[in-house]
Amino acid sequence: MTATAFDHDPVMCDEIVAAFANVPAGVIVDATLGGGGHSEALLQSRPDVDVIGLDRDPAAINAASQRLAPFGDRFGCDRVSFDLLGDVLDRRGISTVSAVLFDLGVSSHQLDTAARGFSYRAAGPIDMRMDPDSTRSAADLIDHAAVDELAAILRRNADERFARRIAQAIVAARPIADTAELASIIAAAIPAPARRTGGHPATRTFQALRIEVNRELEQLPVALDAAITRLAPSGRLAVLSYHSGEDRIVASVMRDGTDPCTCPTGYPCVCGATPTLARVRDVPKRPGAAECHTNPRASSARLRVVERTAATNGQMDEGVSDGTCPA
Ligand SMILES: C[S@@+](CC[C@H](N)C(=O)[O-])C[C@H]1O[C@@H](n2cnc3c(N)ncnc32)[C@H](O)[C@@H]1O
């Protein structure tokens, strides 16, 4: 399958619009612009906000720029990795923002464009770089990594049960011509009974390689911290994650802001740490059945939202929230 137009259905779009319905007027950062679906919905729903979109994929920047051109100077974008969010805002002279959205992972356009090498479903170069100018592709990784290193990547980034068997099979088969050959090497390395359960047997390995090539789990906590630092009081951070590795990082960074007290459980707080974030919901929100039916890629999504309190860096300000706020 070769994608031409930028096809991507924004996931949980109504929920994102609702989450940002009452943030202060100002600037919303869409840190994962993609095709601009979420940005468009936000620009339409909030005439009092501008949107700055970030993406490291030039195809996304081009597609979103065209789609959002009707909004004129209410929309701007930068081709940059989202861990540089603070630098982007500094360059634009913006100190605080109303909200930040992260819709993590890859777009349907990236997955469906065989030449980008993200998909095990179609033969393409083993590439998987979101930023085509970055130095290391998935081919570079699998051509040179030792079995131990590959197995560690598959365990760390995808909890792959058969990591060592798959790593050994990949190393034994090198050089590997394309994504289709890689997918069949992976499938053959997995014991037949396990191959018959769940989805495509190469799903987890492709996910793990993509995460490694794009340094996704390293950049995420840096970017989330930068976003939280720039939120105005009552500003919100919303994150859509699609696998447990991402969601663990999101939950942990948010918990640092909502529950900063380091005192032993059951003892009165003496550390004086004040929440800088308030939880909007106690558990992550999942997409509804209808959305999962029409857009199966939404099925694994988890949406977490927090709101900035008035406190900054542990100082107690007037009107600090008690750690909860209305959804
Ligand atoms: C799931 S898509 C976003 C789709 C978008 N919300 C929409 O409505 O079309 C994720 C996008 O984030 C980009 N991305 C992922 N990690 C990134 C990072 N570290 N820095 C910048 N962009 C990133 C990808 O290139 C991709 O275009």
Q: Please give the CATH architecture assigned to the domain spanning 135-213.
A: Orthogonal Bundle (1.10)
Top mutation candidate among 28, 33, 224, 291 for ligand 1, by most atoms within 8 Å of CB: 33
Does CATH number 2.30.110.10 belong to domain 13-109+216-308? Answer: no
Do 13-109+216-308 and 135-213 come out as alike in CATH topology?
A: no
Q: Where are the domains of the chain?
A: 13-109+216-308, 135-213
Cα-based distances in Å from 39 to 13, 63, 65: 10, 12, 11
pTM of the model: 0.92
Q: What is the mean pLDDT of each run of 10 residues along the chain (327 residues)?
A: 68 98 98 98 98 98 97 98 98 98 95 94 95 96 97 95 97 96 96 83 96 97 98 98 95 96 90 94 94 94 96 41 37
Q: Whose CA is nearest to atom 20 of ligand 1?
A: 81
pLDDT tens by residue, 102-115: 999 999 999 999 99
pLDDT of 7: 85
Q: Which of 214, 225, 199, 63 is nearest to 153 (CA)?
A: 214
pLDDT of 192: 87
Q: Whose CA is nearest to atom 2 of ligand 1?
A: 107
Q: Using the Cα atoms of residue 64, residue 69, residue 73 and residue 79 in order, give the sign of their dihedral.
A: positive
The radius of gyration of the chain from alpha carbons, rounded to an integer in Å, stands at: 21
Q: Whose CA is nearest to atom 9 of ligand 1?
A: 35
Q: What would you measure as the largest C-alpha separation in the chain, in angstroms?
A: 64
State the residue for tokens 């906590």: 221
Is the C-beta atom of 227 inside 6 A of ligand 1?
no
